[in-house]
Amino acid sequence: MKHFKYLTFSILLFCQTAFSAGIYDGIWNIDNLGYASIHQKGEKLIFILLDGEANEDGDYLWEAYWGDLIENKSTQITLISGVLAELDLVFETETKLKIELKSCTPQTGDCDEPVGTTFGGQRIW
């Protein structure tokens, strides 16, 4: 019984420290782009864009961005991508998002959308 108490305490302690989801964490549907996985830790936000369509080689592409979250806004810069890009994310609610492409400079890839393009997003999970 003593070991069971320690095991239960350890599991509860682990679950509390391991699960620290931010209010915007989740899977989002981004209009005309596919899906995004958003993760918040403190004031840092990571935005991973998952393309919903395969390219000509049959591969599904993804891009990663990161930045600071200040209130409900985050300016995201490219972390892993074929372009150097900057996005402005504005969380209108905990389940509704507006994205604007602020800049895009091709590296090994192309900029698919012109600067100034906006997208909407809805959290689906």
* Separation CA 85–CA 65 (nearest Å): 9
Residue 17 has pLDDT above 80, yes or no: no
What pLDDT sits at residue 123? 97
Task: Spell out the domain ranges in the chain.
Answer: 23-123
96 vs 21 pLDDT, higher one: 96
Residue with tokens 């989801």: 21
108 vs 29 pLDDT, higher one: 29
* Separation CA 18–CA 11 (nearest Å): 10
pLDDT digits (tens, 9 = 90+) for 71-101: 999 999 998 777 889 999 999 999 999 999 9
* % of the chain with per-residue pLDDT over 90: 56
